[in-house]
């Protein structure tokens, strides 16, 4: 067996200082907690295991011990693990998981500190020619100050920047995709530990007693964390997932978001003082949590309705608190300050509407008009809260023109006139009241930062917090219409129509006023739910406004009819008006497979050519017709491999933008990115810069899911850093106009590479009859499905064990745990090798592309980062230990194919980049990956050992524990062994960071 511990990089001095200083504290805390919480001999064995896996820590004793026994490091680790009983193995898995989570906290703080340092420093003088090549040489994200300084040095006209900022539209959509395995409870403990570590590191003026106190608090928190169960106790419900996603808004984003505009405005003041900043809501949020019903039967219309009510209640609670604090603050007296006539007039109107409030508060606030006004605002917010609670309790099918009185809630909400005048029927009314107060203050020369902060929050979050995108699979709509057509006894049932017939019939139905659905008919459960979803959406928009849910995403979109079907169903629900030719619902196709990505321009071109469809687009937001198109990274990668998927998405964007320009349609691309590279993940800044020139125009929509949420939005400054750098990347890309994406020879080369890569990938993944068994046996995929981390099934079809039924997330998760990471790189080396075999001189062109083409640089950089995390020898151990004897020969052939492709891909990537070692171009990342690669090795061996014992238990009666000197002679149940295996999955996920 080759040495499992990789050679240690020569990191940059800066990376060594930042990580090294803080790592010493974590190592010390970790060892202290282990010695406190584990029996002495267990703790010493764990520390020896850590030293074995990390040669930087080894004092020579463990190496000498292994050498004396004639063992390499990996053999010594395996031997040490075999000495552990199950209890100690579980403790080891927990210990290493804790270690990696502490390291993750450190690295998040390093990102925060680096960002804060960049805000304090003066902008650097940058190259006078940054767009040739277009930012290809810039790998470090730029802040607002750096970007605007750079643009000013380039003499970019203020009008051009102001126009771009006016249309700036960033949308981040949180999803419930199950790649985040850390419990909500543990996240809270991590936040407390992170806060204490930050205090300990930043407070240089702490005396010895204060530092010791902080240190003891840290130890106490980590010990409490150690005694907390890391595994989810039960399968989360959809509403549990809603609560988890909203955690980041409550803890970080609600307070952080107004600062984003403050920072962009401050940076503009320095370089472009006459340019107006973008509107407050230039960056907003969406959510699929509670509304994504693709393959998740738990997401019902009632759940989506309750999610919307839950989100509004959270926002109302925030606003009540903020307005209450403002009322305390704005104690201005009319004796000493003027008040605007508009505010006085509004107070008179409020007196008539709220006589009880006037009687109660007028005497107290007789000369304090702002406090009186905010008292009325508070009352309206409380009434809105009460109405919202009634809506949640009575459900979406409650009458839309009034609600029944509910005892104990309040008489104001009983059916009757005047209700609309009392509560806030829309967020616009609430914002108008706040702006009235602000204008009165400003009219007298006063300002109020907390009021401006609140108005900014209202602009960004409204009452809904995040817009809910509904997503459903395309066949659900065609099946419903087929059932309807058979009930209506159409000459040709919808399911038997050709595509041309379908389009003609759908367009005709869209434009007629006649209802299509018989009101008294009964339908199958699936069709009933499909109809109900659209009716619930209409009710949502009626009560909450269109912003709460204005987007309907159709997964697995293939044809024009897939979009028209949803519009026909929406028309029946009142979301499309055939007379006015308007719609309140934006229907978004999701093109996922390679074939669908290639077909996308033709599909959209046919739709844009339909006058009625164009008129519906014109009724959407903005002055220009808007079409949103979602591109799927996950399924196209699973279908065709990393290189082919990325190239097809790149080409589709260019073609769709050209098509939209021809038809005078504004295009917003929705990127369905995941956390892992194979699902579109990786640094967002470089990914945005790599988008084809001319395809953004200041508009982008991106999914944020799984562990990405915690890595980006768990700390305030970290969240602002990620949002700021995403914004600067969108601005930079939108200002760049470069022909490199249209270089014919480069595109031809990429086309050849993509086709070869796809063929090589599919030959192994789809055409090899043993691959599915290899994946099931040699990775922990079956055990991953037992993690209680999602309300959604791991497979699309229950009971099916084929590759097509497996979702892309567990597919990536399994390969990551076993250290193959195959979906992120397999096929790249074979494609490059075949190109170079035909023309060895092409290596110079590939190097040129890496230097000058942002897309190609991003592609190679992602492959390089993923390869650096692969441990091919540890992966071989999974194959040898977990593969069944009857499959050994077939599995070994598959492994050798993968190993040879890994070696080839690594060598060719290094030849293109000019690096001696992977990640030489990013020493800080290299240091982090090296640290994790070294320390994660024992977890891999632990996982294999536990999986092997668990699977043996599944095939025979429970066995008595009889291995190792530490055996306690117990008989372990399957549940105990499964628990141990799941804990190793937790630990490896924490160490790898991007899991699925």
Q: Which residues contact 329 (CB under 8 A, 6 or more apart)?
A: 448, 450
Which listed residue (42, 109, 177, 712) is catalytic? 177
Give the rounded distance of the alpha carbon of 72 from its chain centre. 41
- Cα–Cα distances (Å) from 26 to 19, 23, 205, 710, 995, in that order, read 10, 5, 21, 20, 23
CA distance 293 to 154: 48
Do 634 and 808 form a contact (C-beta atoms < 8 A)?
Answer: yes
Q: Which residues pair with 131 in a beta bridge?
A: 134
92: left (phi over 0), alpha (psi -120 to 50) or beta: alpha
Angle between helices 13-37 and 184-202 (to 10 degrees): 120
Length reported for the chain? 996
Residue 109 among the catalytic residues: no
Classify residue 609 as exposed, middle or buried by CB count within 10 Å of its CB (0-12, 13-18, 19+): exposed
CA distance 677 to 917: 20
DSSP 62: H
Closest CA to 471 of 535, 583, 555, 541: 555
- Cα–Cα distances (Å) from 969 to 87, 230, 953, in that order, read 12, 26, 16
Q: Which residues pair with 554 in a beta bridge?
A: 472, 589
Which listed residue (638, 650, 671, 701) is catalytic? 638
Helices then strands, counting H and E runs in the chain, come out as 40, 10
Neighbours of 739 (CB within 10 A): 7
Q: Which residues pair with 705 in a beta bridge?
A: 175
The H-assigned helical ranges of 272-396 are 301-329, 341-353, 355-361, 369-394
Do 177 and 294 form a contact (C-beta atoms < 8 A)?
Answer: no
- Cα–Cα distances (Å) from 763 to 732, 749, 803, 809, in that order, read 40, 21, 14, 21
Q: Which residues contact 19 (CB under 8 A, 6 or more apart)?
A: 106, 107, 110, 924, 927, 928, 931
Give the rounded distance of the alpha carbon of 280 from its chain centre. 22
CA distance 127 to 131: 9
Within the chain, what is the greatest distance between any pair of CA atoms?
Answer: 93
CA torsion through residues 922, 924, 927, 933, sign: negative
Buried b (16+ CB within 10 A) or exposed e, 322-342: bbeebbeebebeeeeeebbee
Residue 650 among the catalytic residues: no
Tokens of 556: 């697995």
- Which SS3 state, helix, strand or coil, does residue 253 take? helix
Catalytically annotated residues: 177, 638
């Amino acid at each position: 067996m080759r040495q499992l511990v990789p050679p240690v990089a020569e990191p940059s001095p800066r990376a060594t200082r930042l990580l090294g200083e803080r790592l010493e504290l974590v190592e010390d805390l970790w060892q202290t907690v282990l010695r406190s919480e584990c029996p002495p001999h267990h703790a010493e064995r764990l520390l020896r295991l850590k030293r074995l896996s990390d040669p930087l820590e080894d004092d020579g004793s463990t190496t000498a011990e292994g050498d004396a026994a004639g063992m390499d490091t990996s053999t010594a680790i395996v031997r040490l693990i075999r000495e552990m009983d199950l209890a100690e193995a579980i403790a080891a898995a927990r210990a290493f998981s804790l270690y990696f989570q502490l390291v993750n906290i450190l690295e998040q703080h390093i990102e925060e500190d680096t960002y804060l340092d960049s805000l304090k420093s003066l902008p650097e003088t940058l190259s006078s020619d940054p767009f040739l090549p277009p930012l290809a040489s810039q790998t470090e994200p730029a802040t607002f100050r750096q970007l605007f300084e750079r643009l000013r040095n380039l003499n970019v006209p203020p009008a051009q920047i102001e126009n771009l900022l006016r249309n700036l539209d960033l949308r981040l959509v949180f999803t419930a995709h199950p790649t985040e395995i850390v419990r909500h409870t543990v996240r809270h403990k991590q936040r407390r530990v992170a806060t204490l570590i930050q205090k300990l590191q930043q407070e240089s003026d702490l005396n010895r007693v204060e530092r010791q106190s902080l240190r003891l608090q840290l130890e106490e928190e980590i010990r409490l964390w150690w005694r907390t169960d890391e595994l989810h106790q039960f399968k989360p419900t959809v509403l549990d997932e809603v609560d988890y996603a909203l955690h980041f808004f409550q803890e970080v984003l609600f307070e952080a978001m107004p600062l984003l505009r403050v920072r962009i405005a401050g940076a503009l003041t320095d370089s472009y003082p006459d340019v107006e900043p973008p509107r407050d809501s230039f960056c907003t949020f969406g959510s699929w949590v509670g509304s994504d019903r693709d393959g998740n039967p738990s997401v019902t219309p009632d759940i989506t309705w309750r999610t919307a009510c839950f989100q509004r209640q959270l926002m109302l609670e925030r606003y009540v608190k903020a307005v209450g604090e403002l009322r305390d603050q704005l104690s201005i007296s009319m004796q000493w300050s003027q008040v605007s006539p508009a505010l006085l007039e509004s107070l008179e109107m409020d007196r008539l509407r709220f006589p009880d409030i006037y009687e109660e508060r007028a005497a107290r606030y007789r000369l304090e008009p702002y406090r009186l006004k905010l008292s009325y605002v508070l009352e309206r917010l409380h009434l809105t809260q009460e109405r919202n609670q009634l809506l949640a309790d009575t459900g979406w099918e409650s009458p839309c023109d009034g609600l029944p009185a509910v005892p104990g809630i309040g008489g104001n909400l009983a059916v009757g006139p005047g209700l609309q005048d009392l509560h806030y029927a829309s967020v616009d009314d609430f914002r108008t009241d706040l702006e009235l107060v602000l204008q009165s203050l400003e009219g007298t020369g006063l300002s109020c930062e907390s009021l401006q902060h609140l108005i900014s929050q209202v602009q960004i979050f409204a009452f809904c917090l995040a817009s809910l995108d509904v997503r459903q699979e395309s066949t659900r709509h065609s099946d419903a219409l087929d059932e309807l057509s058979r009930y209506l006894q159409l000459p040709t049932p919808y399911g038997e129509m050709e595509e041309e017939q379908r389009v003609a019939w759908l367009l005709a139905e869209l434009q007629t006023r006649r209802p299509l659905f018989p009101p008294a008919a009964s339908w199958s459960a699936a069709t009933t739910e499909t109809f109900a979803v659209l009716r619930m959406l209409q009710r949502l928009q009626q009560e909450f406004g269109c912003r709460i849910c204005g987007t309907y995403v159709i997964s697995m979109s293939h044809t024009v009819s897939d979009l028209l079907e949803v519009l026909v169903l929406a028309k029946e629900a009142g979301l499309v008006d055939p007379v006015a030719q308007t719609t309140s619902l934006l229907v978004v196709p999701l093109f996922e497979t390679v074939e669908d990505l290639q077909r996308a321009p033709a599909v959209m071109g046919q739709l844009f050519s339909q006058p009625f469809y164009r008129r519906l687009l014109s009724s959407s937001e903005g002055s220009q017709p808007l079409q949103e198109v979602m591109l799927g990274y996950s399924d196209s990668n699973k279908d065709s491999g990393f290189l082919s998927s990325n190239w097809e998405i790149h080409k589709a964007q260019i073609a769709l933008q050209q098509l939209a320009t021809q038809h005078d349609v504004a295009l917003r691309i929705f990127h369905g990115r995941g956390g892992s590279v194979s699902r579109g993940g990786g640094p967002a800044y470089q990914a945005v810069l790599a988008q084809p020139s001319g395809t953004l125009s200041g508009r982008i929509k991106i999914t944020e899911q799984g562990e990405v949420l915690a890595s980006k939005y768990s700390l305030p400054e970290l969240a602002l850093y990620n949002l700021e750098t995403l914004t600067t990347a969108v601005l930079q890309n939108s200002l760049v106009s470069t022909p490199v994406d249209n270089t014919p020879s480069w595109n031809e080369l990429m086309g050849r590479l993509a086709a070869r890569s796809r063929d090589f990938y599919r030959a192994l993944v789809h055409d090899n009859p043993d691959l599915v068994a290899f994946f099931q046996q040699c990775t922990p995929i079956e055990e991953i499905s037992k993690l209680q981390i999602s309300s959604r099934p791991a497979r699309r079809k229950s009971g099916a064990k084929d590759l097509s039924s497996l979702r892309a997330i567990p597919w990536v998760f399994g390969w990551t745990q076993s250290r193959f990471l195959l979906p992120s790189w397999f096929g790249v080396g074979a494609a490059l090798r075949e190109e170079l075999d035909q023309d060895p001189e092409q290596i110079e062109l590939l190097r040129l592309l890496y230097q000058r083409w942002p897309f190609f640089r991003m592609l190679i950089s992602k492959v390089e980062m993923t390869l650096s995390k692969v441990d091919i020898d540890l992966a071989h151990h999974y194959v040898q230990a977990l593969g069944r004897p009857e499959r050994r020969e077939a599995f070994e052939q598959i492994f050798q194919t993968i190993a040879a492709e890994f070696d080839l891909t690594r060598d060719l990537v290094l030849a293109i980049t000019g690096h001696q070692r992977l990640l030489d171009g990013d020493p800080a990342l290299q240091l982090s990956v090296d640290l994790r690669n070294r320390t994660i090795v024992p977890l891999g061996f632990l996982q294999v050992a536990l999986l092997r014992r668990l699977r043996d238990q599944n095939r025979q009666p429970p066995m008595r524990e009889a291995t190792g000197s530490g055996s306690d002679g117990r008989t372990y149940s399957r549940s105990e062994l499964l628990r141990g295996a799941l804990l190793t999955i937790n630990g490896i996920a924490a160490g790898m960071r991007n899991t699925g």
